Structure 1
Amino acid sequence: NIQYPGIPMDPTSFVDFQLGGGTGVEQNSIRINALATPTSIVVTKVEETGIYLDYFKGLTVYPNPAADYITIRYEKLVKGRVEAELMDLTGRAVMSEEVRQGTNRQTVLDLTDVKNGLYILRFFDKDMNGVEIASFRLIVKK
């Protein structure tokens, strides 16, 4: 159950979602955050330990909170045409960047034109109709 501040908990309400299914992740340990607004509930993965067997090994995103840039670093991207997309909480894409295959790589996203706020950085496979690989909550604070 997720409770909206100031509104009594409804014990019959629930949010049902699947974590890790079909993403090639083994040995899941997942921490999530939920943000309740008057119109929606946004659930984001904060951290996932394990190995992205089909895609990434050693994926990290930093700094968080970020000001002018974020770095996406990974030990290995095994397959797929992977896109990193920064979305606001309405689901609107703010920016995107293709992540290149290879080992010991990094991609830097320029956030100088991005407003302060909470965003979702999601990684998806462009060849598999946008199948989501991973997502991270990102705070931009300048």
Structure 2
Amino acid sequence: MIFISNQVQLGDWEVEMSAVRAQGAGGQNVNKVSSAIHLRFDINASSLPPFYKERLLALRDSRITSDGVIVIKAQQYRTQEMNREDAINRLREMILAAGVVQKKRRPTRPTRSSQVKRVDGKVKRGQTKQLRGKVDL
């Protein structure tokens, strides 16, 4: 079981993980050992609540395919277990981030006193600059 929150959990059958060879530097270890993890999670076929599904499918993320499958490749660590844990944590963070609802911004206006202070500051600054001009004798 993968716990997203108190109310949301994912079954192990919903997440497909396969071990692949990592890319990049690492020498003989990278060439021999399949330590990277390729995680696939089908949003539409999952047991997530509809709210999470809609939010995830609406994301403009390169890790989400056009079919609605999240693909995460974890290859940061040397061991397969740590990469598996990293991939699951990244999936969990992605689902949690999709569930966050932004608070609607309520437009505000500056107070009268702050407007007066701003204009006074501008006038004072303008007077200072005016004093820098040429002096007529």
TM-score by length of 1: 0.25
Task: Please state which structure has a larger fraction of its residues in helix.
Answer: 2
More strand by share: 1
Larger Rg: 2
